Structure 1
């Protein structure tokens, strides 16, 4: 009896996870179909703008930190 418990529980776990993944993918797919094209483009533009601003902020922070430690960042 004890030999079958891990097999049954792992099988049950895999079945529950597979069903959950199926419904999660289906829900996201259905939500994607509801969005208008303009909304998707607007959201993509916002993500790109946030990424570029964070990249600029990281670059400036790195420059200030390098100058604080006295690193020579001049081009030859």
Structure 2
């Protein structure tokens, strides 16, 4: 019965070690790929555009929900 615990711990260690190896490799490869400044600026512009789009959608949904609930949204 003791061998089951040993096998499970070894399997868990192997899974974690494999995951750590691929995580480090992925980050290293990703950093090499992003070394180009132009690609980095393009990615930043895309992230800003997605953030602003999501902010606009959240604003529309918030005001839509407020009107559905009957809240007065007019300025004094």
TM-score, normalising length from structure 2? 0.75
Q: Who is 2:23 aligned against?
A: 24
**Unaligned runs of at least 5 residues, structure 2:** none
Query: Which position in structure 1 is the counterpart of 2:55?
Result: 55
Deviations 1:21-73 (A, max 9, x none): 22232233123212312112211210121111111111112112211221123
Work out which structure has the larger RCO, using CA pairs closer than 8 Å and 6 or more positions apart in sequence.
1
* Distance in 1 separating the partners of 2:59 and 2:41: 27
Q: Which residue of 1 aligns with 2:65?
A: 65
For the residue of structure 2 that corresponds to 1:28, the secondary structure is helix
The runs of at least 4 aligned residues of structure 1 exceeding 2 Å deviation read 73-76
Normalised by the size of structure 1, how large is the TM-score?
A: 0.75
Q: 64-73 or 53-62: which moved more?
A: 64-73
